[in-house]
Amino acid sequence: MLRTAVLVSGGGTNLQAILDAKAAGQIPHTEISLVIASNSTAYALERAKKAGVPGCVVQKEKGETIEAYGERLLNVLRENQIDLCVLAGFLTILPANVIKAYDHRILNIHPSLIPSFCGKGFYGLKVHEAALNYGVKVTGATVHFVNEIPDGGEIIAQKAVYIQDGDTPEILQRRVMEEAEWKLLPAALEQVAQKLTEESLTK
Ligand code: GRF
């Protein structure tokens, strides 16, 4: 079975969705082997602990080069024999050495329909604020592979969510999570894991 690491920075509701889907037998082609947090206060670490998944913190130190940070991260991934990574609200930009080592093996979830409201500076509530300010009637979530362009990698799956009268960024953020992110991310993870498993069997 493929070994997946989930990288987190905050509350970890997307991590929870993955853990719940795993427990429900919906992600048979991968095991959730490790949770890596970018800071020690991420509540996602508690969720990992409750689910019996090992957690650790790999934080970019002040003054550390991005490459050196990447090497540390790679060491943790290699020590744990990680095949696949999922960025689930991970706020540190991944260094090129990590992206290269895990080409088409790192998934990210972004809370808009890429290419709208994505790229540098579009994270958290800012994404939903931008969608509401623009006046779009449909937004959603996107799961994509990570490459060197922020939110620019190949799209794996998308799900649309309608804007409603009276939406605030907070209300919209919650609806995008409930209707799109929490379903889309586990499903996309299974889709990628299944494909990689089939490819490795035919090699
Ligand atoms: C989600 O909106 C996700 O799309 C974005 O960051 C947020 C993470 O939330 N990349 P959580 O930590 O999974 O609750």
Which domains, ranges and CATH numbers included, belong to the chain? 2-202 (3.40.50.170)
34 three-class SS: strand
With the most atoms of ligand 1 within 8 angstroms of its CB, the residue from 9, 13, 182 to mutate is 13
Q: How far is the CA of 64 from the centre of ligand 1 (A)?
A: 26
This prediction's pTM = 0.96
Among candidates 70, 50, 43, 49, which has minimal Cα distance to 58?
Answer: 70
Q: What pLDDT is stored for residue 17 in this prediction? A: 98
Write the pLDDT tens digit of every residue in 50-105. Answer: 999 999 999 999 999 999 999 999 999 999 999 999 999 999 889 999 999 999 99
Nearest ligand 1 atom, CA 43 = 12
Run of H or E residues at 40:
none
Backbone φ and ψ of 119, nearest 5°: 95, -165
Q: What pLDDT is stored for residue 8 in this prediction? A: 98
- Is 203 a residue whose pLDDT tops 90? no
Measured over all CA atoms, what is the biggest interatomic distance in the chain, rounded to whole angstroms? 53
Which runs of E-coded beta strand occur in the chain?
Answer: 2-8, 30-37, 55-57, 84-87, 106-110, 138-145, 155-162
- Catalytic residue list contains 110: yes
Q: Which residues contact 190 (CB under 8 A, 6 or more apart)?
A: 21, 26, 27, 28, 29, 30
Nearest ligand 1 atom, CA 8 = 12
Q: What is the mean pLDDT of the segment spanning 1-6? A: 96
Q: What pLDDT is stored for residue 160 in this prediction? A: 98
With the most atoms of ligand 1 within 8 angstroms of its CB, the residue from 177, 179, 182 to mutate is 177
35 three-class SS: strand
Write the pLDDT tens digit of every residue in 159-190. Answer: 999 999 999 999 999 999 999 999 999 999 99
Among candidates 40, 6, 13, 35, which has minimal Cα distance to 124?
Answer: 13
Write the pLDDT tens digit of every residue in 7-58. Answer: 999 999 999 999 999 999 999 999 999 999 999 999 999 999 999 999 999 9
Whether residue 107 has its Cβ less than 6 Å from ligand 1: no
